[in-house]
Structure 1
Amino acid sequence: MGAATPSALEDQRIRAAVSERRQPLPGRQRKFKGGTTSFMLVMHVGAVFALLPRFWSWQAVVVLAVLYWTTVLGVTLGLHRMLTHRSFSAPLWLEHLLVLMGALACQSGPIEWVGLHRHHHKYSDQPNDHHDAARGLWWAHSDWMLHEIPALQHVGRLTGDLQRDPFYRWLDRWFLLLQLPLGVALYWYGELAGVHGGGLGLVLWAIPLRLVIVYHVTWLVNSATHFCGYRNFNSPDLSRNCWWVAILSFGEGWHNNHHAFPHSARHGLRWFEFDITWQHIKLLRKLGWAKRVREASYNPS
C-alpha cells in the first residue's frame, strides 16, 4: 500500500475500480440467519424500552458511560490493535483483561472477531470481503452479519496464534454468558439502592442500550468510513478518514490511515487527528505495560 498522498484523479480511479458492479449474492447467502437476526432484534427492542422515562436515572447514565468506555476500548485497544494487528504487546494478564473487555461487546468471540477482521484487510472492498462496501452502505454497515458469509470458513487458518490459548477458545464459545453476571449484579444494586427504574432500568441501560450503541459505532467503521471523509494515503480500497466516526469509536474513524498502515498502534497521524485509543496506548507504554509499540507517521510526498 502506497504512502503517497492520493491525487483526486487517483482517488477517483481507485473508487471506480473497486466499485465495479457486484454479482448478486448466491441463494444461500440471501437467507437470514435466524439466531443472529433474532438476537439483534431483541437487543434493539430492549434499547428502545430502556429509553422510556420510567427507566431513566443518573445511575443508569453513569453505568452506560463506564461500560461504553470499557467495551469500546476493549474492542479498539484489545481486539483490534493489540490482538488482530499485534501493534503492541502487553503482559498476558493485561492482554486477557483487554480481550475480556472487548468480548463484552457481544461481537462474537475473540478468535472469530480477529479472523474476520484479518480477512477484511486481506480482501478489503473486494468481492470476497464479507462487508464489501461496494455492495452498498447498508450491507457494509450490518446486513452482512445477518447472512452466511464464506469468510467464516477461513477464520481457522487466519488465527493460528490465538487457537493455542485456552482462554480465547473458551471466550469464543461462551462470550454471551458474560452479560449474565453483569446483569445480575446491576439488578441487585438497582433494587438495593432504590434507583429510579429499579434494577431492570440499570440492566436495560447496561446491556441492550449499550450493546446497540456500541454495535452501530463499530459498524460505522465498516460503512461510513468507506463512503465519506478524506484520504491521506493511496490504499487500494475505499477506506477514508471520518472525524465524527473517530470521535465515537475512540480513533477507529481514521480508517484510511489504518488501511495504509494496519500494524500501526497509532491511527490518527496528523496533528488534528485525535486518537483516544492511541492516548491509552501511550499511557500503558509509560507504565511499562505496552512494549514493542509500532507507530506510523504522516510524511506526505
Structure 2
Amino acid sequence: MDDPNAVNSLIETPGTSATEGHVRWNPILSLWNGGMLAAAVILGPSTISAGALCVFVATTGSVLLLGHSVGFHRRLIHRSFACPLWLERVLVWFGTIVGMSGPHGIIRTHDLRDWAQRQPACHPYLSHRSPILKDAWWQLHCRLELAHPPRFDLGRAGQDRFYRFLEASWMAQQLPIAALLWWAGGWGFVIWGVCARVAISAHGHWFVGHLAHTRGPQTLLVDGAGVQAHDVPWAGFVTMGEAWHNNHHAFPGSARIGLHPGQSDLGFAFIRLLQRTGLAWDVQTPERFADRNTMLRAVENRA
C-alpha cells in the first residue's frame, strides 16, 4: 500500500518549481461556478419552499459526506482506508456529484497544492495567501500555470474506465440529478438541489480552505513546510470533519481528522460504520504513524 502521508500521484522532476507561474482566467470553470451562483441567487428566492430546503440540506450533506470527504479525500487521494472497488466507485461518483471536479481533476488539484505547501515556498495561488477577494477570484474562476510543473501518475485511478468517464462528464453528471428532482418537485427542487448545492459547495470549499491556510487555532507545525494549516472550528461539523485542517497537515494519511475532544468528524464516523459492517479495513489513524512525529512541533493553541 502506498504511504498515506505521501503525495502519491505527483512526480518531482529536475527543475520543478512551486513558485514560478501565472494565474490565467479559466472560462469554463468561471462560467460553471458563476452560473451556479447566479442561478441560486436570482432564482432561489422565488422557488424556495420547505421541500426545496429539505432537498438542499439532504443533497448537500450527503454528497459532501459520502463523496467529497470520504470518497474523494480520504479514499481516492490519501488512501487512508481500504474498501471494495464497487464501493469506492460509488463514493467517487458522489464526489463527482458535488460539482467541483471529476476524480482525476480533484487528485491533480489536491496533490499539486499538497506538494507545494510542503516546500519552503510556493506560489500564493497554492498557499491561499492573497487577499480574500483576489483569492476567491483565483480559486473559483482561474487556473495556475506553473512554469516548471511536476508530472502526475494517477496509477489505477488514472486507468479506471469509470473514473475516466466521470472525468469527461463531471458537469453533465448533474443532468440526471436535475431531471429526477424536477420530476419529484419541479424547478424549485432543481434550483435548490443542484444550483444552490453546487454553489455553496464550491464557494464554501474555497472559503474554508482560505481560512484554513491563513488564520485560526494551531496545535502542530510541520517542519520544513512553507505553509502551515489552521483549524476552522465553526466549520468542523458542516465540512464532515475536514475543517480540522491543522490536524490533517500533521497526519495527512489519517482517516480520522478530528483528533481532539469536541472535534466532530462525521467522515470518520462513516468510515467506522463501514468498518463495523466489513466494508472498510486498514483504517489509518495517527497511532500508526509514529515516525511522523519526528516532523512535528507542538505549539500553543492560538486564534
- Between stretches 121-130 and 68-77, larger displacement belongs to 121-130
Identity %: 28
Normalising by structure 1, we get a TM-score of 0.81
What is the CA–CA distance in structure 2 between the aligned matches of 1:47 and 1:155, rounded to whole Å? 37
**Pairs within 5 Å for 1:1-301:** 26=22, 29=23, 31-52=24-45, 54-73=46-65, 74-124=67-117, 126-128=121-123, 130-141=125-136, 143-150=138-145, 157-190=152-185, 199-235=186-222, 236=225, 237-296=227-286
What is the CA–CA distance in structure 2 between the aligned matches of 1:38 and 1:152, rounded to whole Å? 26
What is the CA–CA distance in structure 2 between the aligned matches of 1:153 and 1:81, rounded to whole Å? 28
Shift of 1:140: 4.3
- Structure with greater proportional helix content: 1
In structure 2, relative to structure 1, the CA distance for the partners of 1:57 and 1:144 (3 Å cut) is closer
User: Which residue is 2:4 aligned to?
Assistant: none
Shift of 1:104: 0.5
Indicate conservation of the 8 Å contact 1:268/1:274, yes or no: yes
Shift of 1:153: 9.0
Shift of 1:160: 2.3
Indicate conservation of the 8 Å contact 2:20/2:148, yes or no: no
Specify the code of the residue in structure 2 equivalent to 1:86.
R
- Secondary structure of the equivalent of 1:131? helix
Length, aligned pairs only = 268
Indicate conservation of the 8 Å contact 2:99/2:170, yes or no: yes
Which structure 2 residue ranges, 5 or more long, are not aligned? 1-17, 299-303
Specify the code of the residue in structure 2 equivalent to 1:282.
R
- Structure with greater proportional strand content: 2
RMSD across aligned C-alpha pairs, in angstroms? 2.6
What is the CA–CA distance in structure 2 between the aligned matches of 1:46 and 1:100, rounded to whole Å? 24
Indicate conservation of the 8 Å contact 2:82/2:281, yes or no: yes
Indicate conservation of the 8 Å contact 1:59/1:202, yes or no: yes
Shift of 1:276: 1.3
